Structure 1
């Protein structure tokens, strides 16, 4: 079976349901993982998505913030959801396809503006969330699995517009990068996007604060697709839909794609 998967921080699925429908029509991924849905599950406009062939959904929601959902054209059953760092937030849901592949959809906390856990509780929560993920993968080594989502960290120097300028900016600080590396290594995860596109600047997020985001191009790669080693070689065709950042009333994130032959 060949299927294409996309991950997208939509920044309110109800506000931007038209953009989700546009992606479904124009790109038609078989599986679409959304983060920051900002909606209770029962208010996600599933009927509109079903009309486009997305008959299956697993999700966790909250009113006004957080929230993760996996929409699928392929049969999908729920495979759990974790309360990482005990925050009580809707930041993880997992689904399993009929071929046995488990898809984990994560929305890691952004971490606030100050990269110091003593001065900024949110930054500490972000690090604790990643530590909990790491420990979970060490205790339950994933197999035949894909992990996607807004991980809110740009790990490589070429995942940001300026490594030097962002070293003390939340999302690219050394301690965050190290925590993410430990989390990835704990599950032996392979960064599929960089497996397919090993060199060059690569971004999936551009701030709303930029007057002309495209010209300034001060982006970061915060959105990721990982796979376990037993299926990572089946991945190909990774791409980032930069054009979506110019859609009407866009999210500040854009979709990231990968295709798997499994």
Structure 2
């Protein structure tokens, strides 16, 4: 079974690119972030035509938004928190029926944190840290079993998750306050699936800034998109694929899809 995650940066704008992703990977489940579409305007008819009759979504106009679309039956997990009390459509969860039993999928879009890595002067950075702390505390109390957590977590936690560890230590996404909290969250019963397949010191990136005129040449990437699996799924993980060439799809998202293949 293939499970994909992608910050699509506007679902309706990039619906043709979603079709491209499906044609190329035939993913069973696709988790999308930054869909930027309010629920009444979600393009469910198009999603069904693409071969995904099961879906769950939570969205708002212009910002944020998450969705899970699936070839297989989904059961909505309703008792998830409203992180930081903001109702800002950054997390959904669903149970996926598989031959070996249900799998819980969490789809997250963590706040980016703004530009200044100082919680006292930058409310966006403070919000990001608080969000991660809340998620950590929740999973500590609700230890994951047969669970997969994916999404744009907006943190590149490891030295080789960024193009320059030294130069980005004071840049939001790779600062110690973020990476320490991110790693503590992961420790609440999860394994970093991407690093199980491609351990450090291999460079792994899933995001390249729009500011780079030639993203391939500069290759100043960051690994902001993640797939975590609960400890009991370690032996089920078969492969990880990062579709770096999707950064050239037009109009591009600055993120690229990541696909995990598991035996389920």
Residue 87 of structure 1 corresponds to which residue in structure 2?
86
Residue 188 of structure 1: CA displacement? 1.6
Residue 15 of structure 2 corresponds to which residue in structure 1?
17
Q: Aligned to 2:37, what secondary structure does the other structure show?
A: coil
Structure 1 CA distance, aligned partners of 2:36 and 2:221?
A: 23
Structure 1 CA distance, aligned partners of 2:3 and 2:233?
A: 14
Deviates more, 1:245-254 or 1:75-84: 75-84
Instruction: Return 5+ residue gaps in structure 2 as ranges.
Output: none
Q: Aligned to 2:199, what secondary structure does the other structure show?
A: coil
Residue 179 of structure 1 corresponds to which residue in structure 2?
181
Residue 42 of structure 1 corresponds to which residue in structure 2?
40
> TM-score normalized by structure 2?
0.96
Write the mapping of 1:7-156 to structure 2, written as runs, cut at 5 A: 7-80=5-78, 81-98=80-97, 99-156=101-158
Deviations 1:191-227 (A, max 9, x none): 0011011131010000000111111000000000001
Contact 1:21 1:49 in 2 (8 A): no
Deviations 1:20-73 (A, max 9, x none): 111112211000000000001231222112112101101111111000000001
Q: Aligned to 1:233, what secondary structure does the other structure show?
A: helix
Structure 1 CA distance, aligned partners of 2:46 and 2:147?
A: 28
The aligned length equals: 259
Q: Aligned to 1:201, what secondary structure does the other structure show?
A: coil
Contact 1:82 1:93 in 2 (8 A): no
Write the mapping of 1:236-255 to structure 2, written as runs, cut at 5 A: 236-255=238-257
> TM-score normalized by structure 1?
0.97
Residue 232 of structure 1: CA displacement? 2.1
Structure 2 CA distance, aligned partners of 1:251 and 1:83?
A: 27
Q: Aligned to 2:133, what secondary structure does the other structure show?
A: helix
Structure 2 CA distance, aligned partners of 1:50 and 1:26?
A: 18
Residue 100 of structure 1: CA displacement? 1.1
Residue 215 of structure 2 corresponds to which residue in structure 1?
213
Residue 226 of structure 1 corresponds to which residue in structure 2?
228
Instruction: Return 5+ residue gaps in structure 1 as ranges.
Output: none
